[in-house]
């Protein structure tokens, strides 16, 4: 009987389950913040074929690592990659060269979870928090001591 080779996806799922168990078991965090991670979504995003094509990113005609190491061609995910895309890759540092593309990728990944007018709602909530915080500073007479401390640091 041949042993089962664990895939990267299975490793990710195991890591995710372990992380979620850790987060869910952190009752102190939940009690202190009022936040429950039950509906937390781990959304892996990054380079995919559509994005590579749209952004006209450069393919490299090999699968060698940066140190020149060859991939393990017997791994199922390597076989699938070669079947789908050929023996080529796009380095993640292709995004470093053009931060605008990187920013677009991240913003797109985040914004799909935000409700309509999220920026407006955030600004409204922020105004309330600032007002509350300033009231605390005023109540405890901390504005002037904090201002003096900041001046000393500068």
Chain segment 35-62, per-residue pLDDT in tens: 887 777 878 788 888 888 998 888 999 9
If one counts every other C-beta atom within 10 angstroms of the C-beta of residue 80, the result is 11
CB atoms within 10 A of CB 34: 7
What is the C-alpha to C-alpha distance for residues 3 and 73, in angstroms, rounded to an integer?
Answer: 17
Measure the CA–CA gap between 146 and 137, rounded to whole angstroms.
9
> Angle at the Cα of 76 (from 73 to 77), degrees rounded to 5?
90
Summarize pLDDT for 5-32 with one digit per residue, the tens: 666 777 777 777 787 777 777 777 788 8
Q: Shortest CA distance to 58 belongs to which of 117, 28, 98, 26?
A: 98
Spans of all domains in the chain: 1-42, 46-113, 118-154
Q: Does the pTM exceed 0.75?
A: no
């Amino acid at each position: 009987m041949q042993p089962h080779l664990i895939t990267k996806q299975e490793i990710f799922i195991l890591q995710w389950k372990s992380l979620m168990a850790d987060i869910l078991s952190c009752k102190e965090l939940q009690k202190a913040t009022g936040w429950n991670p039950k509906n937390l979504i781990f959304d892996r995003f990054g380079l995919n074929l559509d994005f590579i094509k749209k952004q006209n990113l450069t393919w490299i005609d090999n699968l060698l690592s940066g140190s020149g190491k060859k991939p393990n061609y017997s791994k199922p995910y390597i076989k699938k990659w070669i079947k789908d895309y050929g023996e080529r890759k796009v380095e993640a540092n292709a995004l470093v060269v053009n931060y605008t593309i990187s920013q677009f990728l991240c913003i797109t990944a985040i914004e799909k979870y935000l409700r309509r007018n999220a920026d407006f709602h955030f600004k409204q909530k922020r105004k309330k928090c600032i007002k509350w915080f300033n009231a605390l500073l005023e109540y405890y007479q901390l504005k002037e001591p904090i201002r003096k401390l900041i001046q000393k640091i500068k």
